[in-house]
Chain A
Amino acid sequence: YRSPPPAKYGGRHTVTLIPGDGIGPELLNHVRELFRFCCVPVDFEVVRVDSSASSEDDINNAVTAIKRNGVALKGNIETNHNLPPSHNPGTICFDLYANVMHCQSLPGVPTRHKDIDVIIIRENTEGEYSSLEHENVPGVVESLKIITRVNSLRIAEYAFNLAREKGRRKVTAVHKANIMKLGDGLFLQCCKEVAAGYPDITFDKMIVDNTTMQLVSKPQQFDVMVMPNLYGNVVSNVCAGLVGGPGLVPGVNYGKDYAVFETATRNTGKNIANKNIANPTATLLASCLMLDHLKLRAYAKMIRKAVLKTLSETQLQTADLGGQGTTSEVAHSIMQEIQRGGPRTSEQI
């Protein structure tokens, strides 16, 4: 379904690494160390794009690097309000139209709700984030929300395909078509059309405010959810909070030819930067998803298993989960866990 990543030479993949701001750089360093420790055949090409005066050229260099490699792993970049709006330039340049977040209750993490397993698919390019705003009359600002048939069909197609691939039973479209009759109405109609081609999967729809209410009382009822951009932002943050916070959930932005891996809720965490207390789980799990994408599944499985095992050890949990562990302790424990698995020959990998 997805075209293979282009940058593989001599058996080693090259991946663009964008450290970003806040906790991004330190956590991505841990990823690099871990990969080195496990002898993962991935080389990182570091591209610096962050809020501190990134010129047009820097951003263009990053774009070229990602285009060349096809895959990127990134930390979050804080919005610089002095620069012209170009949110996440990546999503527009590479047409990363699907943001996919898999939220599941992880063992050992204290949460109010249990047994959550939701895949959230969010349209990543249009909707409310089109950045088309104008002030026709002083004091009156209009912001345009664009919904197109093409993009709605595309994201619906992606959602149902993913649901089928992963053996999921139900896809729920989240909307506000009772108020935005034309806009969200079009989105819903496209979802319905695509659903007709997948009779094995149940198609359901729910209004966004009811959705958030259901999520905080009974999140177990949801399976796969698909929605336009803004609701996707809200719902993914609510779900991330439900399973334990921003430090645990990885997210992926898929385009036809490119994929960018990051933490699902895109927090810079600048208050906890460089204090060795950030939770590396989300970033590490994102790197595992990247390894899956590069078809290095055995490495992905090995690292993921170690990460989840360490997560369940309550004495090592970081501050965001209520524990006192440091980032380096967690990273160290993961490496020890991998080592405990014994040496691997190249056949096993």
Chain B
Amino acid sequence: MAGNAWRSTLLKLLARCGVRISDASSAPEICETTPLILHQVSRVMGAIKTQSPQPRTFSRGIQTVTLIPGDGIGPEISTAVMKIFEAAKAPIQWEERNVTAIKGPGGRWMIPPEAKESMDKSKIGLKGPLKTPIAAGHPSMNLLLRKTFDLYANVRPCVSIEGYKTPYTDVDLVTIRENTEGEYSGIEHLIVDGVVQSIKLITEEASRRIAEYAFEYARNNQRASVTAVHKANIMRMSDGLFLRKCREVAENYKDVKFTEMYLDTVCLNMVQDPSQFDVLVMPNLYGDILSDLCAGLIGGLGVTPSGNIGANGVAIFESVHGTAPDIAGKDLANPTALLLSAVMMLRHMGLHGHANKIETACFDTIREKKVLTKDLGGNSKCSEFTADICRRVQDMD
């Protein structure tokens, strides 16, 4: 994590260039410099002064988290996660809220005000699967949440789970996907009968924002490189803009290696050797495809965590699988995806100790193969799986 050691190294380096800084917020005193050094110095200063969405450390106090259980198997897996957190004595207080689409004043669809209020206060949310009823007249709940909190980055770390065998055993990458624009802008027109046009929108602002988030994430999580995925050879202006922004932001993060790769090359190499990838940043559609591809590499949506980062420090972590109405209420669901998302949430909040404990317990349970749920190849109930993890967590103390 970019901390004191890094900061003091920087200050020493700047001193060598003839710049003295009493404190980072004031302007640097520059003794004698050449324009080149001045340019380099201001770049470095920009890096120090940039408001980074740092994880807030709440080492002592109890942090409130908004919990949205969701539909289908949502409630049971949320209960499982709450139980495990209790067993791990994590300093989390849950505030349960439901989100359904309601028509607000002016006829616009929105989420219930209690939910919004709770999220705005706590800033951190954990969400189960939400069903999108077809032809309900309102947009999907996930889309509503995204618009309400301006969730611009979707982060999916994909790590091979030891004990859940897939043909790919050495996956350890993170996909960061721009979540607001791109091909999913929803702007479509019927030009003439039989000709349809879909508009893919790329803006400078959104591209810069996602690139900055990607590099910050890489820095905060000790990742070595960031790769921008694009198709700028075909879509020169749109992906070209995205790439340009990534390159510009990369200038401020010289400690993280920046590479760029065509989408098709990434796909080709990903299925042959996923270990060569680290952090991937990309626009919406490519992100959708690649993040699901990576989820498939480690075992599917039932074991993949996911987090959405929004403006104003809001972060909602969720499980990305469906509501599975056929097994809802039968104590057969697998809470792993929601649990790993909750672990991701703990890490975001700086509670690394608890995060590691819960994650290790979960992986140990899966590795032992004694109490696995049906989708992982076992025969146990959700409650048995949860109880095993709780037991392990308690044994660790």
Please report the C-alpha to C-alpha distance between residue A208 and residue B265 in the assembled complex, in whole angstroms.
Answer: 17
Whether the Cβ atoms of A87 and B234 lie closer than 8 Å is yes
Interface residue ranges of B172-213 to A (CB < 8 Å):
183-184, 186, 188-190, 193-205
Whether the Cβ atoms of A143 and B195 lie closer than 8 Å is no
Which residues from B are CB-within-8-Å of A182?
Answer: 188-190, 196, 198
Stretch at the interface among A23-31, A125-133, A338-346: A125-133
Specify which of B167, B188, B194, B288 is in contact with A183 (CB 8 Å cutoff). B188
Specify which of A139, A208, A238 is in contact with B271 (CB 8 Å cutoff). A238
Main secondary structure of the interface of B (DSSP, over half): mixed
Whether the Cβ atoms of B296 and A149 lie closer than 8 Å is no
Whether the Cβ atoms of B168 and A245 lie closer than 8 Å is no
Specify which of B201, B241, B265, B299 is in contact with A267 (CB 8 Å cutoff). B265
Which residues from B are CB-within-8-Å of A181?
Answer: 188
Please report the C-alpha to C-alpha distance between residue A266 and residue B196 in the assembled complex, in whole angstroms.
Answer: 28
B289 within 8 A of A: yes
Interface residue ranges of B291-327 to A (CB < 8 Å):
291-293, 295-297, 299-301
Please report the C-alpha to C-alpha distance between residue A182 and residue B202 in the assembled complex, in whole angstroms.
Answer: 20
Q: Which residue of B lies closest to A148 (CB)?
A: B195
Specify which of B183, B241, B292 is in contact with A213 (CB 8 Å cutoff). B292
Interface residue ranges of B219-268 to A (CB < 8 Å):
231-238, 241, 263-265, 267-268
Closest chain-A Cβ to B147's Cβ sits at a distance in Å of 14
Which residues from A are CB-within-8-Å of B188?
Answer: 180-183
Please report the C-alpha to C-alpha distance between residue A181 and residue B185 in the assembled complex, in whole angstroms.
Answer: 12
Whether the Cβ atoms of B195 and A149 lie closer than 8 Å is yes
Stretch at the interface among A193-201, A214-222, A277-285, A290-298: A214-222
A147 within 8 A of B: yes
Whether the Cβ atoms of B189 and A241 lie closer than 8 Å is no
Whether the Cβ atoms of B293 and A213 lie closer than 8 Å is yes
A202 within 8 A of B: no
Please report the C-alpha to C-alpha distance between residue A320 and residue B178 in the assembled complex, in whole angstroms.
Answer: 33
Which residues from B are CB-within-8-Å of A230?
Answer: 231, 285
B42 within 8 A of A: no
Specify which of A81, A143, A148, A234 is in contact with B238 (CB 8 Å cutoff). A143
Interface residue ranges of A76-121 to B (CB < 8 Å):
79, 81, 85, 87, 112-113
Whether the Cβ atoms of A179 and B268 lie closer than 8 Å is no
Whether the Cβ atoms of A216 and B233 lie closer than 8 Å is no
Given A112-B167, A209-B288, A237-B265, also A186-B196 (CB < 8 A): yes
Whether the Cβ atoms of A183 and B196 lie closer than 8 Å is yes
Please report the C-alpha to C-alpha distance between residue A185 and residue B268 in the assembled complex, in whole angstroms.
Answer: 28
Whether the Cβ atoms of B238 and A213 lie closer than 8 Å is no
Which residues from B are CB-within-8-Å of A79?
Answer: 233
A135 within 8 A of B: yes
Q: Which residue of B lies closest to A209 (CB)?
A: B292
Which residues from A are CB-within-8-Å of B198?
Answer: 144-145, 147, 180, 182-183
Specify which of B189, B194, B270 is in contact with A149 (CB 8 Å cutoff). B194
Whether the Cβ atoms of B199 and A144 lie closer than 8 Å is yes
Given A81-B233, A87-B234, also A209-B289 (CB < 8 A): yes
Please report the C-alpha to C-alpha distance between residue A160 and residue B195 in the assembled complex, in whole angstroms.
Answer: 22
Specify which of B183, B204, B233, B272 is in contact with A140 (CB 8 Å cutoff). B204
Q: How large is the interface on B (under 10, 10 to 19, 20 to 34, 35 or more residues)?
A: 35 or more
Please report the C-alpha to C-alpha distance between residue A306 and residue B202 in the assembled complex, in whole angstroms.
Answer: 49
Whether the Cβ atoms of B202 and A241 lie closer than 8 Å is no
Which residues from B are CB-within-8-Å of A180?
Answer: 183-184, 188, 198
Whether the Cβ atoms of A238 and B268 lie closer than 8 Å is yes
Which residues from A are CB-within-8-Å of B263?
Answer: 233-234
Closest chain-B Cβ to A152's Cβ sits at a distance in Å of 9
Which residues from A are CB-within-8-Å of B183?
Answer: 128, 145, 179-180
Which residues from A are CB-within-8-Å of B168?
Answer: 112, 216
Please report the C-alpha to C-alpha distance between residue A336 and residue B188 in the assembled complex, in whole angstroms.
Answer: 58
Please report the C-alpha to C-alpha distance between residue A301 and residue B198 in the assembled complex, in whole angstroms.
Answer: 44
Which residues from B are CB-within-8-Å of A186?
Answer: 194, 196
Which residues from A are CB-within-8-Å of B299?
Answer: 217
Which residues from B are CB-within-8-Å of A275?
Answer: none
B269 within 8 A of A: yes
**Chain B positions 333 through 346: 1 when the CB is less than 8 Å from some CB of chain A, otherwise 0:** 00000000000000
Closest chain-A Cβ to B387's Cβ sits at a distance in Å of 29
Q: Which residue of B lies closest to A78 (CB)?
A: B233
Given A208-B289, A237-B268, A241-B270, also A133-B238 (CB < 8 A): yes
A134 within 8 A of B: yes
A212 within 8 A of B: yes
Closest chain-A Cβ to B265's Cβ sits at a distance in Å of 7
Closest chain-B Cβ to A305's Cβ sits at a distance in Å of 26
Closest chain-B Cβ to A80's Cβ sits at a distance in Å of 10
Closest chain-A Cβ to B212's Cβ sits at a distance in Å of 16
Please report the C-alpha to C-alpha distance between residue A240 and residue B267 in the assembled complex, in whole angstroms.
Answer: 9
B166 within 8 A of A: yes
A210 within 8 A of B: yes
Specify which of A87, A142, A148 is in contact with B194 (CB 8 Å cutoff). A148
Q: Which residue of B lies closest to A182 (CB)?
A: B188
Which residues from B are CB-within-8-Å of A234?
Answer: 263-264, 267, 289
Closest chain-B Cβ to A51's Cβ sits at a distance in Å of 11
What is the interface of chain A, defined by CB distance below 8 A to chain B? 79, 81, 85, 87, 112-113, 128-129, 131, 133-135, 139-150, 176, 179-183, 185-186, 208-210, 212-217, 230-231, 233-234, 236-238, 240-242, 245-246, 265-267
Contacts beyond the supplied A145-B198, A180-B184, A182-B188: 11 A-B pairs with Cβ under 8 Å: A139-B203, A139-B205, A143-B201, A143-B237, A147-B196, A186-B194, A209-B292, A231-B289, A234-B263, A234-B289, A238-B270
